[in-house]
Copies of this chain bind each other. A is one copy, B any other.
Amino acid sequence: MNRFFIPRDWITADEVSISGSQARQIFSVLRLKTKDHIIVLDNSGWEYEVEIERVTSQRVQGKVINKALGNTEPEIKITLYQALLKTDKFELVLQKGVELGVSSLVPFISERCVVKKPGENKLTRWKTIIQEAAEQSERTLLPVLHPVISFQEACEKATVSSSILLWEEEKKLRLVSVLRSPTFKNSSALDIFIGPEGGFPSSEVDYAKSKDIVVASLGNRVLRAETASLAVITAILYEKGEFG
């Protein structure tokens, strides 16, 4: 069934009214009709099954016929601090990160970033990618895209005692050891830092350490930045029993 995140005030008692681009999509692209069912989500964790009663390209109206709490949200809340990457790589991380199960995303600018700070159009596009990935993967909470900040601001924003920066030059401390350490093993939220294509310079790694961010290795193979992001998210979810 097609799923749509909509503003909470579009649902009143058991009536739902959808306008804008989602109405156009339902009418013109999906060509849904009266009596067809959709799922709407108000970002509360609830899923509302809706039977369509009226549909035009401007407005879709329907009745809630069932309401259930979703079960697709991981208990572990992962915030991905991702250095800006070239557009296609960054968008891959957004889409796949949301499918896999991140809770929020903080783009940051690191010394070796080769791309500029995104404009309004790009931010709007990124939010659309996140929303579509959340709908496609059947999530019930919409991951949050935070504003782009500097690496230093990101380090200050990160949660003390539950932040990990992955660095290809770290050769001793493995991610698995960090996740199973006393400090981290019962964490209900984790902040993960992934660098840009050229990696973190050691000055940034030192700065992160000064803010109590733990620096860890992913193992022996050298991963591209976007691959590292998706693999770390997967490994954390697997470790916590939330994937696989």
Question: Which residues of A70-85 are within 8 A (CB) of B?
Answer: 71-72
Interface size on A, residues (CB 8 A): 35
A222 and B175 within 8 A (CB): no
- Chain B residues, CB < 8 A from A139: 221
CA of A63 to CA of B99 in the docked complex: distance in angstroms? 48
- Chain B residues, CB < 8 A from A96: 227, 230
The stretch from A12-20, A145-153, A235-243 touching chain B is: A235-243
B72 and A220 within 8 A (CB): yes
- Chain B residues, CB < 8 A from A209: none
Nearest-neighbour CB distance to chain B for A72, whole angstroms, equals 4
A231 and B232 within 8 A (CB): no
A138 and B176 within 8 A (CB): no
CA of A238 to CA of B99 in the docked complex: distance in angstroms? 19
Nearest-neighbour CB distance to chain B for A230, whole angstroms, equals 6
**0/1 per residue, A189-203, Cβ < 8 Å to B?**
000000000000000
**0/1 per residue, A167-179, Cβ < 8 Å to B?**
0000000111001
Nearest-neighbour CB distance to chain B for A136, whole angstroms, equals 7
A137 with B223, Cβ < 8 A, contacts A218-B243, A235-B238, A238-B176 known: yes
